[in-house]
Amino acid sequence: MKTYIPTPSSSTLELGFFTLHYYALCILLGIIVAIWVTKKRYTALGGNPNDISDLAIYAVPSGIIGGRVYHVLTSPQKYFGEGGSPFAVFKIWEGGLGIWGAIAFGALTVFIYFKRRSTSLTFAQLADSIAPALLLAQAIGRFGNWFNGELFGRPTEVFWALEIPPENRTIGFENFTTFHPTFLYEAIWCSIVALYIMRSRFFQKISGSGAVFFFYAFSYSFGRLFIEAIRIDDANELMGLRLNIWVSAIICAGGAALFLRKISRYPRK
């Protein structure tokens, strides 16, 4: 008898009068890890770690709001379509944070902060410090989708397939039991790229130039292209492709071009 990855039987933890959602806990843990890693990398470049603590007060809420705005704008049917509930827009604990919206809002907030405040390092140095931290946060946050039993891929019977209960299955796939665990694919990809950035001598050499962040944008988007291609959850499409595939392709190409432009300034060995 084959064994597969099970979907957790519960997405919440009951503590007396309090209900904790595992999705929210995964996001929170990812944020904590991201702040810790960013502080270490920022300090290694000669920065004051207190800059990161102060910045997080503004950047974290901004990123969460941006992630939710992106998700709602790219998947409006669930909230404003037939049978939808506009109030559900505010139920972030049920899932639904778009990484590109989180990065855009967070980056804008950080940029404004660096323009208005006196900081020990430059905006580019911070961007390179936070790049692998974002990847680790995304890897941890994806496990929230596992607890919610959502955002899985096409049906499959490989030994690492994810069992999805009937009530969570996508319309049209009710007769299938196991699916690609796209949350796990993304978590593994993000972790590999983050460790590569942090361990590579090359990235240590160019850290602080902004090139590391552009590599993050390129590499994450590259992996996301393949993951989006096998997802079957409802999503808006453009010319037959999921909207997130187009966004990932654009950011992948832009990130690669800017990364190559940055590293071209360094002497070749």
Write out 36-71 in H/E/C secondary structure.
HHHHHHHHHCCCCHHHHHHHHHHHHHHHHHHHHHHH
What pLDDT, on the 0 to 100 scale, is given for residue 17? 76
CA separation for the pair 76, 102 (Å, rounded): 17
H helices present in the chain, as ranges: 22-44, 49-74, 77-80, 99-116, 123-141, 143-148, 182-199, 201-206, 211-230, 243-263
CA separation for the pair 79, 89 (Å, rounded): 6
* pLDDT class of 137 with cuts at 50, 70, 90: very high
pLDDT in tens, 16-26: 778 888 998 99
pLDDT in tens, 161-215: 999 999 999 989 999 999 999 999 999 999 999 999 999 999 999 988 899 999 9
| Mean pLDDT calculated for residue range 68-89 | 77
The residues with which 163 forms a beta bridge, in sequence order, are: 178
Q: How many CB atoms lie within 10 A of CB 269?
A: 5
What pLDDT, on the 0 to 100 scale, is given for residue 1? 62
What pLDDT, on the 0 to 100 scale, is given for residue 220? 97
| Mean pLDDT calculated for residue range 223-247 | 89
Could you give the percent of the chain with pLDDT greater than 90?
61
At residue 5, the 3 state secondary structure works out as strand
At residue 18, the 3 state secondary structure works out as strand
Q: Would you say residue 269 has pLDDT above 60?
A: no
CA-based nearest residue to 120, from 54, 59, 61: 54
| Mean pLDDT calculated for residue range 96-124 | 86
Which of the two residues, 240 and 179, has the higher pLDDT score?
A: 179
Mean pLDDT, all residues of the chain? 89
